[in-house]
Structure 1
């Protein structure tokens, strides 16, 4: 597989993972810079970007980036792009190992910059849904989808895979299939979310087991949900993404409980450390907390 075909395959994998087009564009730009570096250094052999790339080449590329004067965060992002790229090729059987796996990122002091929405912004999203000139069925669909995302912390891919049998109305849980090794988890399915989904189900016309459907298909797609988000963002004074709704649900849970293990369970994080971002204060929260202690002489 040459580098162009490998890159096309990688882009499709990113879209399957619900990555935004802006994120995909950044990945591609990072990889093209790596390909250019390899081609200049080693010629056609280095330009394949597939199995011909040795670990040593990635290590030398990291050194090259560091000497270029780039910020540590930029160096790390480009290395992460390579890890993700080669991971996709390993999954496809194009290469057996990922040469970027053991190349460590640069150490930088991290502060929590995860973006989640404030309560008034979440309200504004649902106000925008209600104000749009559209049929009741479409309004019910959008309200149900966004409430499930912001209250139950699902990934958009998980939402699209939801089946009617996954909804436990009596006990108030949703069974979520993770897509990894047949694993699943249960997440809250509380009254406001249940009410919205029940209203949507009255309009649901097509046969099939999937909870959410489009007008033409018995199964909602991540791209369709992303399109809804884009359209709604155009009506709002702020931009938001589908994944921010999940972040918001998890941040809200962290603020309410203060327990990282609960957040990790609902999020489906295998490593509890992944959930720390929701427990740690955001930069905005830090700034707010320090307002009253500011010196002004």
Structure 2
């Protein structure tokens, strides 16, 4: 467990996106399990021969793009092991990558709607109404995983058919019949209503990683992610005649309105830089951002950026709280 925690912190310091961190930890678990089952020994250091064997074992199940994603993970984990003094040299490099044909395309419009619907239906049939409803809220209401885990019963307004999202991305989201039906079916299965709408097997609310894990175990295609589900909803809104501005409002985007220019975003602080000022871990800053304690914006690539003005504002807030 400690090795996952250390690697997770390493990825945070590298300013990796939340989705990348989750995916790399998922890859690490899969690789270590495969390594122990196929070598009958405990993992100690990364070996090129083992990486080649592992990539060969998964190559028949995933696309070339996914193989390259695995290679990116191995490069990252190799660098981590070097930083920890576990090994000295890089054994993974770009020469191991697979060539893929490059096509100029709109990533949003590349989402195969029928494929996504088939995945969701399969989850509903094989993994239960709760897991289906959580992922359906992302695919058919455009919620973020962090918003799904924070949902409470009072956030659901069935009379006006809207979902009230609070926190950093406060907004009202239309509740279509698909989402309304799945929510009502799920609510019928609940014996005791807890503080949060979705509670895991341990009796606590889900984490973002937990929701992503549910999706990943039901969809082995690593080209399809939680972000793909949000794009699926974006396509539906476009087809219904929503303008780009209206779509941004429904999805809770804050940077697409160009309140800050790309140059201004570039000058802002990363969570890692912000954490050093307050002598806390980067994950703490990310939690502050999710709770709305610290205002953060997203670049086009999805990275969090924090305005410099938030430093003084938070210092004053903490000073006031301590006095």
**TM-score band, normalised by the shorter chain?**
0.5 to 0.7
Aligned partner (choices 255, 263, 271) of residue 247 of structure 2: 263
SS in 2 for 1:271: coil
Q: Which residue of 2 aligns with 1:119?
A: 113
- Please, which runs of 5 or more residues in structure 1 have no aligned partner? 37-109, 133-137, 278-297
Alignment of 1:162-201 (within 5 A): 162-178=151-167, 180=168, 183-201=169-187
**Match for 1:217 among 179, 203, 211?**
203
The two structures, once aligned, show a CA RMSD in angstroms of 4.2
How far apart, in 2, do the equivalents of 1:164 and 1:265 lie? Answer: 23
Calculate the TM-score normalised by the size of structure 1. Answer: 0.53
Compared CA separation, residues 8 and 211, structure 1 to 2 (3 A)? closer
- Would the aligned equivalents of 1:174 and 1:188 in 2 still touch at CA under 8 Å? yes
- Alpha-carbon shift at residue 209 of structure 1 (Å): 2.1
Show the 5 A alignment for 1:26-65: 26=72, 29=75
Task: Describe the shift of the 1:249–1:23 C-alpha distance in structure 2 as closer, same or farther (beyond 3 A).
Answer: farther
Whole-Å Cα distance in 2 between the matches of residues 265 and 168 of structure 1? 19
Structure 2 CA distance for partners of 1:112 and 1:16, relative to 1, 3 Å: closer
**SS of alignment partner, residue 141 of structure 1:** helix
- Classify the secondary structure of the residue corresponding to 2:234: helix
How far apart are the structure 1 equivalents of 2:164 and 2:209? 22
Which deviates more, 217-226 or 190-199?
Answer: 217-226
The CA distance in 2 between the partners of 1:116 and 1:131, in whole Å, is: 26
What is the aligned partner in structure 2 of residue 247 from structure 1?
231
Q: 1:176 to 1:10 in 2, by over 3 A?
A: farther
Closer/same/farther in 2, CA of residues 275 and 186 from structure 1, 3 Å limit: farther
Contact 1:269–1:275 (Cα < 8 Å) also in 2: no
Distance 1:118 1:177 in 2: 31
Q: 1:28 to 1:175 in 2, by over 3 A?
A: farther
* TM-score using structure 2 length: 0.49
**Which of 98, 120, 139 lines up with 1:150 in the alignment?**
139
CA distance in 2, matches of 1:116, 1:141: 28
CA deviations over 1:238-284 (Å, ceiling 9, x no partner): 8522221111111221232251111110111123368999xxxxxxx
> Does the 8 Å CA contact 2:141/2:174 hold for their aligned counterparts?
yes
CA contact (8 A) 1:156 1:243 kept: no
Note the C-alpha offset of 1:152. Answer: 0.7
Post-superposition Cα deviations, 1:50-91, rounded to whole Å, max 9, x if no partner, equal xxxxxxxxxxxxxxxxxxxxxxxxxxxxxxxxxxxxxxxxxx
In 2, distance between residues paired with 1:215 and 1:22? 22
Structure 1 residue ranges, 4+ long, deviating more than 4 angstroms after superposition: 5-8, 12-16, 23-33, 273-277
Distance 1:16 1:219 in 2: 22
Question: What is the total number of aligned residue pairs between the two structures?
Answer: 195
Q: Structure 2: how far apart are the matches of 1:174 and 1:149? A: 12
Assess, with a 3 A threshold, how the Cα gap between structure 1 residues 114 and 195 changes in structure 2: closer, same or farther.
Answer: closer
Matched residue SS, 2:165:
strand
224 and 238 in structure 1: CA distance in 2 versus 1, 3 angstrom threshold: closer
Aligned residue number for residue 67 of structure 1? none
Instruction: Say whether residues 1:229 and 2:232 are aligned partners.
Output: no
Cα distance, 1:158–1:112 mapped onto 2, change above 3 Å = same
Q: Is the 8 A contact 1:208 1:218 kept in 2?
A: no
